[in-house]
Amino acid sequence: MAHEASKKQPSNVVTNPIPEEEIRRRAYALYEERGRQDGNDLDGRLRAEAALKATPLKAAT
């Protein structure tokens, strides 16, 4: 029974990663919304990831 605790998945493991291409598309959309101003690529990527993580997952049909 002592081994059961070690089998639990760590809370910081992502079980449903967001595809890289989806992050890039969202970041580019944010870039266009800002009027294509350069110099905010990291901020755009982080905002894109946050927005996608906050979006509920679609159920597979």
CB–CB of 20/6 below 8 Å?
no
First to last CA, the chain: 38
pLDDT value of residue 20:
96
pLDDT value of residue 6:
54
Q: What's the rounded mean pLDDT across residues 27-47?
A: 95
The pLDDT tens digits for 1-36 are 555 555 665 666 556 689 999 999 999 999 999 999
User: Which of helix, strand or coil describes residue 39?
Assistant: coil
Q: What's the rounded mean pLDDT across residues 36-56?
A: 93
pLDDT value of residue 55:
79
Q: How many residues does the chain have?
A: 61
- Which pLDDT band holds residue 51 (cuts at 50, 70, 90)? very high
User: What DSSP character marks residue 3?
Assistant: T
The residue ranges of every structural domain in the chain are 19-53
